[in-house]
């Protein structure tokens, strides 16, 4: 399916193209050839006419001759590229067969492509279609980004309003809010209870390593234990159609889902602005924002790597993955401890902080104990 057919199929409307050439014969020839492809066509005799039409109407593509009176192609292109609105329209330059250097100059100025006179119908169609397809995809991506941004702003405000009702001293209420986020996903079960215990076990084990002895104290352990339930609180801001989808997410849905760390962190930052200096909330921000980052930088939302990822998030990330592996989902059965351990070991140095994995190996029997203690149907 070519670009014109794709556009017609999706939106019921044809692409709009402006042909700019002072030579009436060349202009009419181009218009006749393009008319066969189902485009909406307009024409202009020079650069000034073209700019007037571009400012008055919306076009998907411009075919612009270089050599014209009044305002030539170079000057017209320069004006277009200097306008934040007009520069979004792709420009294909029209040049003589022996004047390719001029076309290259135009591309350096911002044109996307060129065609030579006399026109080759096959090449003309291919270049027009290719650039219209790029324009279509660019417009679609921009529309999706804008829609996601609008949704995220609205959802973030909703989540923020809910969390702001919670006093900084009411840890039980914080946990209840986290359980609310968890309850929207019927497959998570006793996930929050297990996560608190896993984080505590890993933190205490890491505290015995010399490099962490000055970092992990009792307050650190208490904070990560209390704040770990906040890791997925941003999911309150994710639409049910995405969060509860029974199966793999598509690319657009993944873009939405990957916003939950940002939503959660920004929500908790608002709490911190209202009640500054609370270590528990600060820990929650780091956990919510970074628990999907990976040691090698391949995670999200910011692609942090190594020790740029907060330690509390590196700890929780392993516990979160272990819990996901050992729990049943609509797309998989629960893995046993041995298989889950092997997968985590394979992620040492790529997904996980090597030190956190070593700590896990030391307390893996306790992980199994916690898993059994807080076992529910999703782990059968």
Largest CA distance in the chain: 84
Mean pLDDT of 105-121: 90
In this predicted structure, which of 237-251, 284-298, 332-346 has the lowest mean pLDDT? 237-251
Model pLDDT for residues 308-352, shown as the tens digit of each residue? 999 999 999 999 999 999 988 766 789 999 999 999 999 999 999
How much is the pTM? Answer: 0.54
Q: Which CATH superfamily is domain 168-379 in?
A: Hypothetical protein af1432 (1.10.3210.10)
Top mean pLDDT of 1-10, 136-145, 291-300 is at 291-300
- For the cut 90, the answer to whether the pLDDT of residue 273 exceeds it is no
pLDDT computed for residue 167 by the predictor: 43
Q: Of 67, 69, 91, 71, which Cα lies nearest the Cα of 80?
A: 91
DSSP readout, 125-165?
A: HHHHHHHHHHHHHHHHHHHHHHHHHHHHHHHHHHHHHHHHT
Q: What is the mean pLDDT of residues 171-197?
A: 65
Q: Label residue 182 by pLDDT band (50, 70, 90).
A: low
List pLDDT tens digits, range 118-136.
Answer: 888 888 899 999 999 988 8
Higher pLDDT, 2 or 320: 320
pLDDT band at 379 (very low <50, low <70, confident <90, very high): low
Specify the CATH class of 3-139 in words.
alpha beta
At residue 265 the predicted structure's pLDDT band, cuts being 50, 70 and 90, is: very high
Going by the DSSP 8-state scheme, the letter that residue 168 receives in this structure is T
Give domain limits for the chain.
3-139, 168-379
For residue 333, report the phi and psi dihedrals to the nearest 5 degrees. -85, 165
- What's the mean per-residue pLDDT of the chain? 86
More confident residue, 244 or 377: 244
Q: Which residues pair with 61 in a beta bridge?
A: 17
Mean pLDDT of all residues in 186-205: 85
Closest CA to 14 of 91, 129, 177: 129
Nearest C-alpha neighbor of 186 from the set 250, 233, 246: 246
Split at pLDDT 50, 70, 90, the class of 6 is low
Q: What's the mean pLDDT in 102-110?
A: 89
Q: Please give the pLDDT value at position 70.
A: 87
Return the sign of the alpha-carbon dihedral for residues 108, 112, 117, 118.
positive
More confident call, 126 vs 380: 126
How many other CB atoms sit within 10 Å of the CB of residue 271?
21
Which stretch of DSSP H or E encloses residue 43? strand 40-44
Q: When comparing pLDDT for 97 and 113, which is higher?
A: 113
């Amino acid at each position: 399916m070519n670009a014109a057919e794709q556009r017609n199929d999706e939106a019921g409307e044809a692409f709009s193209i402006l042909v700019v050439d002072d030579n009436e014969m060349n202009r009419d020839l181009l218009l006749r050839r393009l008319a066969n492809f189902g485009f909406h066509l307009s024409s202009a005799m020079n650069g000034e006419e073209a700019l007037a039409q571009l400012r008055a109407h919306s076009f998907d593509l411009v075919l612009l001759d270089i050599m014209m009176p009044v305002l030539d192609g170079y000057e017209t292109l320069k004006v277009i590229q200097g306008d934040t609105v007009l520069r979004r329209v792709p420009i294909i330059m029209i040049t003589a067969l022996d004047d390719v250097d001029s076309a290259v100059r135009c591309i350096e100025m911002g044109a996307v492509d060129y065609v030579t006179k006399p026109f080759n119908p096959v090449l003309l169609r291919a270049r027009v279609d290719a650039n219209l397809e790029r324009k279509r995809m660019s417009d679609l991506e921009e529309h999706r980004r804008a829609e996601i941004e609008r949704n995220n702003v609205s959802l973030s405000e909703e989540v923020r309003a809910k969390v702001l009702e919670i006093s900084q001293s009411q840890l039980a209420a914080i946990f209840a809010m986290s359980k609310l986020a968890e309850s929207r996903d019927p497959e998570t079960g006793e996930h929050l209870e297990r996560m608190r215990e896993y984080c505590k076990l890993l933190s205490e084990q890491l505290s015995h390593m010399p490099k962490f002895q000055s970092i992990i104290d009792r307050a650190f352990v208490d904070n990560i234990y209390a704040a770990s339930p906040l890791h997925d609180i941003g999911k309150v801001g994710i639409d049910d159609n995405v969060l509860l989808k029974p199966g793999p997410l598509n690319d657009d849905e993944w873009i939405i889902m990957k916003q939950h760390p940002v939503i959660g962190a920004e929500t908790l930052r608002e709490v911190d602005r209202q009640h500054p200096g609370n270590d528990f909330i600060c820990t929650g921000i780091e956990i919510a924002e970074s628990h999907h980052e990976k040691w090698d930088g391949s995670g999200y939302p910011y692609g942090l790597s190594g020790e740029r990822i907060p330690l509390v998030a590196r700890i929780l990330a392993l516990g979160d993955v272990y819990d996901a592996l050992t729990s049943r989902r609509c797309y998989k059965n629960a893995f046993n401890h041995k298989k889950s351990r092997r997968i985590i070991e394979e992620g040492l140095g790529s997904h996980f902080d090597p030190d956190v994995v070593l700590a896990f190996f030391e307390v893996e029997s306790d992980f199994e104990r916690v898993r059994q203690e807080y076992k529910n149907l999703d782990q059968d």
